[in-house]
């Protein structure tokens, strides 16, 4: 299950981003609970589609905020977003074609590690940028 829970220490100081992070964590947790409960391929694809859309919308919003606040590293951040979306989309296509070589546990681990690292190592740069002296 999800290793990460929302804590105030993860706050970017941008309410809309923080709320989206909380929603994303909750959706990933819901998805993993469903996976562990047993899903057929159609249900797994539907769950992945929801996550991909949610992540894509969140990334677009976050990138707008980063540009608006003139975060110096926003282009690097944007590339990281594209790489994650590509990896999740690739996994979704593998599931759709029946050629998925990664287990649900592999995806769970990847999303847990990536989500935590991305928020802590990348998204908190927004907080530091907004609160610089």
Domain 12-130 part of CATH 1.20.120.50: yes
CA dihedral sign, ordered 32, 38, 40, 43: negative
pLDDT for the residue 35: 78
Closest listed residue to residue 115, CA positions, set 13, 47, 21: 21
pLDDT digits (tens, 9 = 90+) for 2-55: 457 888 988 999 999 999 999 988 888 888 888 788 877 788 889 889 989 999
What is the average pLDDT value for the chain, to the nearest integer?
Answer: 86
Q: What's the pTM value of the predicted model, to 2 decimals?
A: 0.85
- What residues does each domain of the chain span? 12-130
What pLDDT digit, counting tens, does each position of 88-132 carry? 888 888 878 877 666 767 777 777 777 888 888 889 999 999 998
């Amino acid at each position: 299950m999800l290793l990460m829970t929302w804590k105030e220490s993860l706050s970017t100081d941008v309410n809309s981003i923080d709320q989206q992070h909380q929603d994303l964590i909750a959706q990933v947790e819901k998805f993993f609970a469903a996976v562990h409960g047993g899903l057929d391929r159609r249900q797994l694809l539907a769950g992945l589609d929801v996550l991909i859309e949610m992540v894509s919308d969140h990334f677009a919003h976050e990138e707008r905020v980063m540009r608006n606040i003139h975060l110096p590293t926003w282009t690097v951040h944007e590339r990281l977003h594209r790489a994650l979306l590509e990896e999740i989309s690739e996994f979704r296509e593998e599931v759709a074609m029946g050629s998925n070589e990664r287990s649900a546990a592999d995806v769970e681990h990847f999303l847990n590690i990536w989500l935590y690292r991305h928020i802590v190592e990348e998204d908190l740069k927004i907080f530091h940028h907004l609160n610089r002296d």
